[in-house]
Structure 1
Amino acid sequence: MSTRRKIVILGTGGTIAGLGHADGGSVGYKAAQIGVAQLLQPIAQGCLQGHFAFEVAQIAQLDSKDMDICTWQQLATACASWLEQEDVAGVVITHGTDTLEETAWFLQCVLQCSKPVVLTCAMRPATALSADGPANLRDALVCAAHGLPGVWVAAAGEVHAAQCVRKVHPYRLNAFSSGAAGPAGWVEEGRVRWGTTEAQLGGESSAVPARAWSRDAAQWPWVEIVTSTACARAEAVDALVAGGVKGLVVAGTGNGSIHEALQQALRRAVSQGVRVWRSTRCEQGQIVLADGECDPGVTPLSPVKARISLMLTLLQIQVQG
């Protein structure tokens, strides 16, 4: 009987599992066509020098632009179950790039990670002449074997914390960034070299209890993002409130400023019981309040991650109520 520790690889689809034209192009492909076991096969032999056994499971097979609550719940449940097993060193998740940062943040919020959970992806399908999926998957396995507790993203030789990572380019291979914080680490020749300041971000958040996030998807509160722009109109907010939205994240301009027309509509929304949080639409940085200013609705998260956190916050209120 083998005494080797396990790394569990969970597949959800995405470009890394995509198939394209025979000419090896990087666009015009169909995502989520190859199973995770097939993705692992070319790199399994010799990866990590045989010190770890690999266990695979296909959680979903979808284009990540279509990610949904039910898949998140299945993924979180699977991760929690595997992480409890003593012989499991870590979990790797193959995922599409479009909503990877959202899934990473959701998992960071709901899992009590005492081991690494590493999401990886590809910007080119498996049939591309220079497919990046195999190298990314190999790096993710290394990060799961020798990484730190928390939820991470491994891509293009870099490791990013779930809190900071964002997709910043639609095509190039190094499409992910952690902004001014920089990567939490780098995978180099089969080893992870961690940075000195951001490496602990993977384990900072407190886990949302399963009794909240495991509720039926139909019971999850409706939360939307509203972006403040030039010529913004109040009708957008009013329509969402009339439609039954329970929470709004405002992607403000600059340092979180909001068009006056939206401000008025948001005040009406708050008076009707809608929870409103404020972020910035800027790619880097976060809102900085003036000395002595207090605004509990301001969040350091990006708008898409703030939306997830607000949904989870409202779910917990439902459970407590």
Structure 2
Amino acid sequence: MQSGNERIVIIGTGGTIAGASGSATDNVGYKAGQLSVGSLVAAVPALQSASLEAEQLAQLDSKDMDEGTWARLARRVQHHLDRDDVRGIVITHGTDTLEETAYLLQRVLAPRKPVVLTAAMRPATALQADGPQNLLDAVSLAQTAGAQGVVAVVAGQVLHGLEIRKTHTYRLDAFQPGPDTGLLGVMEEGVVRQFRDWPTGEALGATLLPEAADAWPWVEVLASHGGARAQAVQAWQQAGLKGLVLACTGNGTIHQALAAPLEALRQAGVPVWRTTRCAQGRIVGAADEAAASLTPWAARVELTLQLLQQSATG
């Protein structure tokens, strides 16, 4: 781990990394978000000499992540990034929606300092707890000279914030990069071995995100599948849906039963974006599709941000 006087701020949001179970051998029956971020830091001896500041923003099971927490998180991260004495930010997070939070933060903040999300697949009480090493790696990366952008560090892998995907339900190495991109780097004994450039981009600004959850546009994800029916699309339209992301079969195809209600949705002015439900690849031959290379979950975040921008510009 690199030395220095520059501060790393660690923001806790809960998740399995802060989870606890009644048994050290129980890796699935735990309750997420039970331990404070301060206690997570205290459990890693190598962090005791580092210049750290811990802040508890939330204690969520990340399956329950919500828009209000996203807005508060983006604002707090920006607040700390603006401090001259802060080198970088580490966010402890649950694994279930980590990829959505990472995508949103990179698009909203596009930080020139490192913002590192980390997580765990085992609770802190487990015999094989992976949280301490992941947290240590995340702090090491946040201290790295030249690092910038939103990334994730899990199981020794460094992943681009716009591309990370959770691909396994149980393994410690549950995350992978985009299928056509690759790892941004790996952590080796506290040092980053970098393969690709750090994330960059134009920041949309944390103030774009409303603090009230009901001020966010309603965007859903719908999967096409055998036996699909039109009623779901029709019900959502009647209820005031503002945007829809399709997790299509194959190379962007949809069940014929969905064609008419989806066209009615478009005619009503509701944007409908296509992605694929396939784990690998993108929609080929659809250059006009904004979400052709995104996962359904990243596409939902992107469409939400675009609708917020449209609302902000009137």
- What corresponds to 1:302 in structure 2? 295
The code of the aligned residue for 1:41 comes to A
- What corresponds to 1:283 in structure 2? 279
Q: Structure 1 segments of 4 or more deviating over 6 A?
A: none
Measured at CA, do residues 215 and 13 of structure 1 come closer, stay the same or move farther in structure 2, by a change above 3 Å? Answer: closer
Measured at CA, do residues 305 and 188 of structure 1 come closer, stay the same or move farther in structure 2, by a change above 3 Å? Answer: same
Give 1:239 deviation, angstroms: 1.1
- TM-score when normalising by structure 2: 0.94
Maintained 8 Å contact 2:68/2:211: no
Maintained 8 Å contact 2:155/2:173: yes
Give 1:288 deviation, angstroms: 1.2
Distance 1:217 1:21 in 2: 34
Distance 1:25 1:209 in 2: 41
- TM-score when normalising by structure 1: 0.92
Maintained 8 Å contact 1:276/1:297: no
- What corresponds to 1:188 in structure 2? 188
Maintained 8 Å contact 1:179/1:283: no
- What corresponds to 2:152 in structure 1? 153
Distance 1:298 1:32 in 2: 32
Query: SS of the residue aligned with 1:86?
Result: coil
Query: SS of the residue aligned with 2:253?
Result: coil
Query: SS of the residue aligned with 1:38?
Result: helix
The code of the aligned residue for 2:63 comes to K
The code of the aligned residue for 1:53 comes to S
Give 1:209 deviation, angstroms: 3.1
1:53-68 equivalence runs, <5 A: 53-68=51-66
The code of the aligned residue for 2:160 comes to A
Maintained 8 Å contact 2:99/2:161: yes
Measured at CA, do residues 203 and 261 of structure 1 come closer, stay the same or move farther in structure 2, by a change above 3 Å? Answer: same
- What corresponds to 2:18 in structure 1? 17
The code of the aligned residue for 1:97 comes to T
More off after superposition, 74-83 vs 147-156: 147-156
Query: SS of the residue aligned with 1:143?
Result: helix
Distance 2:227 2:26 in 1: 40
Distance 1:23 1:299 in 2: 43
String of CA shifts for 1:128-150, please: whole Å, max 9, x gaps: 01100000000101111116211
Give 1:296 deviation, angstroms: 4.1
Query: SS of the residue aligned with 2:143?
Result: helix
More off after superposition, 150-159 vs 278-287: 278-287
Equivalent in 65, 68, 71 of residue 69 of structure 2: 71
- What corresponds to 1:203 in structure 2? 200
Give 1:187 deviation, angstroms: 0.3
Maintained 8 Å contact 2:210/2:216: no
Is 1:163 aligned to 2:162, yes or no? yes
RMSD: 1.6
Distance 2:263 2:230 in 1: 11
Measured at CA, do residues 17 and 4 of structure 1 come closer, stay the same or move farther in structure 2, by a change above 3 Å? Answer: same
Q: What stretches of structure 1 of length at least 5 have no aligned partner?
A: none
More off after superposition, 207-216 vs 130-139: 207-216
Is 1:256 aligned to 2:257, yes or no? no
Distance 2:230 2:46 in 1: 59
1:5-154 equivalence runs, <5 A: 5-43=6-44, 45-47=45-47, 50=49, 52-146=50-144, 148-154=147-153
Distance 1:235 1:155 in 2: 40
Maintained 8 Å contact 2:284/2:292: no
Equivalent in 230, 234, 239 of residue 230 of structure 2: 234
Query: SS of the residue aligned with 1:170?
Result: coil
The code of the aligned residue for 1:92 comes to V
Give 1:301 deviation, angstroms: 1.2
Q: What stretches of structure 2 of length at least 5 have no aligned partner?
A: none
Distance 1:230 1:178 in 2: 29
1:168-179 equivalence runs, <5 A: 168-179=167-178
Maintained 8 Å contact 2:14/2:62: yes
Distance 1:192 1:210 in 2: 28
Maintained 8 Å contact 1:11/1:94: yes
Give 1:17 deviation, angstroms: 0.4
Question: Share of identical aligned residues, percent?
Answer: 50
Query: SS of the residue aligned with 2:133?
Result: helix
Maintained 8 Å contact 1:13/1:61: yes
Distance 1:148 1:190 in 2: 14
The code of the aligned residue for 1:232 comes to A
String of CA shifts for 1:227-266, please: whole Å, max 9, x gaps: 1111211111111111110100011111111112212211
Maintained 8 Å contact 1:229/1:253: yes
Distance 1:215 1:34 in 2: 26
Give 1:87 deviation, angstroms: 1.5
Measured at CA, do residues 22 and 230 of structure 1 come closer, stay the same or move farther in structure 2, by a change above 3 Å? Answer: closer
Maintained 8 Å contact 1:13/1:63: yes
